[in-house]
């Protein structure tokens, strides 16, 4: 039997999937031309909400409130939006097989489709402690967080153990954001991670010490420099104890693990060139196969500003790469090209009353200003990274939207700076003068 032919196929209904769909609609698709296949049961949504407002004890965020593209001030694309725009949104539809030579994809239920252009937006999945054969890693009450059903399980269990104890494994983005959410739900939290401080890929020890101090002030216990070697469970198979590498053991009712993510290459693995764990793409997100594009977490792309190639696991890039790829597909049909992707890295996080943003590259020497006043009401602190006499990265805690825009400008323009002292005494004023 011949496979049904679809002009455009999007595999993955996450952040990049939602923004790609919007761009297709903006540039024009006829009913039936675009199909989206998503393993999840819900239409594309803004994933960052899952480790923040979704877990709040009061007035939590819930779908349909945070479908894409509300996270960047755009329209909320509820399921009806897809139907109204003639897009076939196949939910609960994992793509299990693909053949980039015959240009076909096959769902787990066995339905095969032929595509004209394919956009892979399958994102990442969490690294599981079971991958390291950690004894007891299959116990009940051990949670990971990637998708809305994971968040629902966690919400249910947080309610059940209110007033109980939790161990958070990992001191990266998930660890730091989840520890705060658990504490807000009146759960006593201990964080455990092997690194010397929070967020070592971005934070300097000085920046981390501010956040760690704040967390301790909220009653969160932080154990650094060791990790989990085993879990103990009760007769029902639920976790009761976390055993650490330094010999300590922690009683617990619940565990949340955030020890990193890995790109989900799925059925495309082995058919496309790979680099740095993702699919190697050009500045228009074209992979090594004809008419196949990859965007978001799964793409390793040329970082024009820094002359290297990177994979980025953050929402801003997921949105922008999706838009770029769709524009490239549509331009190609007219024999035109698009400008090269010229991405400025942008990362952020929020927890408790804290909120930071970072733009650019954290390479070279760091200069931290305002730290002595950090935490005082209305005060801000920040950091610049100086490489080869130029400011290449900027960080700000507690910035207003206008102040955060200044950071982006500094990181984009990479101004020269005379001395470290100049940055230290100017603080945020340095950014206002660019």
To which residue do tokens 């990265």 refer? Answer: 393
| Nearest Cα residue to 55 out of 209, 137, 174 | 174
| 23 vs 313, beta carbon nearer ligand NAD | 313
In whole angstroms, give the CA distance from residue 320 to residue 44.
Answer: 15
Whole-angstrom distance, CA of residue 241 vs CA of residue 324: 47
| Backbone torsions φ then ψ of 171, nearest 5 degrees | -120, 30
Cα–Cα distance between 122 and 271 in angstroms, integer?
15
Nearer to ligand NAD among residue 204 and residue 327 (C-beta):
204
Binding of ligand FDA at residue 278 (CB under 6 A)?
Answer: no
Return the one option of ligand NAD, ligand FDA, none that residue 39 interacts with (CB less than 5 to 8 A, by type): ligand FDA
Of residues 128 through 187, those in contact with ligand NAD by CB under 6 A are: 169-175, 177
By the rule CB under 6 A, 286 interacts with ligand FDA = no
Least distance between ligand NAD and beta carbon 33 (Å) = 32
Q: Which of 116, 194, 364, 375 touches ligand NAD by CB under 6 A? A: 194
Q: What is the DSSP letter of 140?
A: B
| Min separation Cβ 39 and ligand FDA, Å | 4
Give the dihedral sign, CA 200/202/204/206.
negative
Can you tell me which residue has the tokens 């983005």?
Answer: 173
Residue 267 or residue 370: which is nearer to ligand FDA going by CB?
Answer: 267
321 is a site residue for ligand NAD (CB under 6 A): no
What is the rounded CA–CA span in Å between residue 146 and residue 49?
11
- Render 211-269 in DSSP notation, one character per residue: HHHHHHHTT-EEEES--EEEEEE-TTSBEEEEEETTS-EEE-SEEEE---EEE--GGGT
> Closer to ligand FDA at the Cβ: 39 or 103?
39
Contact 408, 346 (CB under 8 A): yes
Give the integer Cα–Cα distance in Å for 322 and 314. Answer: 13
- Residues 305-324, one symbol each (x = binds ligand FDA by CB under 6 A, - = not), give --------xxxx-x------
Q: Does 316 bind ligand NAD (CB under 6 A)?
A: no
| Cis amide bond preceding 69, omega within 30 | yes
CA distance 219 to 30: 56
Burial of residue 206 (number of CB atoms within 10 Å: 0-12, 13-18, 19+)? middle
Regarding 123 and contact with ligand FDA (CB under 6 A), the answer is: yes
Q: With binding defined as CB under 6 A, does residue 146 bind ligand FDA? A: yes
Among 227, 284, 321, 324, binds ligand NAD (CB under 6 A): 227
Residue 35's SS3 state is: strand
Is the sign of the CA dihedral 46, 52, 53, 54 positive or negative? positive
Question: Quick one: CA dihedral 139, 144, 150, 153, positive or negative?
Answer: positive
Judged by CB under 6 A, does residue 258 bind ligand NAD? yes
Q: Is 13 in the site for ligand FDA (CB under 6 A)?
A: yes
Q: x/- contact string, 32-61, with ligand NAD (CB under 6 A)? A: -------------------x----------
Range in contact with ligand FDA (rule: CB under 6 A) among 23-31, 35-43, 270-278, 323-331: 35-43
**Contact between 179 and ligand FDA per CB under 6 A:** no
For residue 119, state whether it binds ligand FDA (rule: CB under 6 A): no
| Residue 52 β-bridge partners | none
Residue 47 binds to ligand FDA (criterion: CB under 6 A):
yes
262 binding ligand NAD? (CB under 6 A): no
- From the CB of 42, what's the least distance to ligand FDA, in Å? 9
Exactly one of 147, 313, 361, 397 binds ligand NAD (CB under 6 A); that residue is 313
286 contact, one of ligand FDA, ligand NAD, none, CB 5-8 Å limit per kind: none
- The residues binding ligand FDA (CB under 6 A) are 11-17, 37-40, 47-48, 50-51, 94-95, 121-124, 145-147, 264, 266, 296-298, 313-316, 318, 347-349
- The residues binding ligand NAD (CB under 6 A) are 51, 124, 169-175, 177, 193-195, 227-228, 258-261, 313-314, 347, 349
């Amino acid at each position: 039997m011949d496979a049904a032919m679809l002009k455009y196929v999007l595999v993955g209904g996450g952040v990049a999937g939602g923004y790609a769909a919007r761009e297709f609609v903006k540039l024009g698709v006829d009913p039936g031309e675009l199909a989206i296949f998503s393993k999840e049961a819900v239409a594309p949504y803004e994933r960052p909400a899952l480790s923040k407002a979704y877990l709040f004890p009061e007035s939590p965020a819930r779908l349909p409130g945070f479908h894409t593209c509300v996270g960047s001030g755009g329209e909320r694309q509820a399921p009806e939006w897809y139907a109204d725009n003639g897009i076939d949104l196949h939910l609960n539809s994992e793509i299990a097989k693909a053949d980039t030579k015959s240009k076909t994809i096959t769902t787990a239920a066995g339905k095969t489709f032929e595509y004209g252009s394919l956009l892979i937006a399958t994102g990442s999945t969490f690294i599981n402690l079971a991958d390291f054969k950690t004894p007891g890693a299959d116990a009940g009450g051990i949670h990971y967080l990637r998708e809305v059903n994971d968040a629902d399980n966690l919400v249910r269990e947080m309610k059940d153990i209110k007033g109980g104890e939790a161990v958070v494994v990992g001191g990266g983005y998930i660890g730091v954001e989840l520890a705060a959410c658990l504490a807000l739900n009146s759960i006593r939290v201990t964080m455990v991670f092997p690194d010397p401080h929070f967020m070592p890929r971005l934070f300097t020890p000085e920046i981390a010490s501010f956040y760690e101090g704040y967390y301790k002030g909220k009653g969160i216990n932080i154990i650094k420099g060791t990790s989990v070697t085993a879990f103990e469970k009760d007769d029902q198979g639920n976790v009761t104890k976390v055993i650490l590498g330094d010999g300590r053991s922690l009683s617990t009712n619940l565990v949340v693990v955030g020890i990193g993510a890995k790109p989900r290459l799925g059925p495309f693995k082995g058919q496309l060139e790979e680099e740095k764990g993702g699919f190697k793409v050009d500045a228009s997100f074209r992979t090594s196969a004809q008419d196949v594009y990859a965007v978001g977490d799964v793409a390793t792309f040329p970082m024009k500003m820094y002359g290297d190639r990177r994979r980025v696991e953050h929402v801003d890039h997921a949105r922008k790469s999706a838009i770029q790829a769709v524009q490239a597909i549509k331009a190609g049909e007219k024999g035109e090209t698009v400008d090269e992707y010229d991405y400025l890295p942008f990362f952020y996080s929020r927890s408790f009353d804290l909120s930071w943003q970072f733009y650019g590259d954290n390479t070279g020497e760091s200069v931290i200003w305002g730290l002595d006043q950090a935490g005082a009401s209305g005060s801000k602190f920040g950091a610049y990274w100086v490489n080869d006499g130029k400011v290449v990265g900027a960080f700000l805690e507690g910035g207003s939207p206008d102040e955060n825009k200044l950071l982006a400008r500094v990181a984009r323009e990479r101004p020269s700076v005379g001395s470290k002292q100049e940055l230290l005494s100017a603080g945020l004023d340095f950014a206002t003068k660019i």
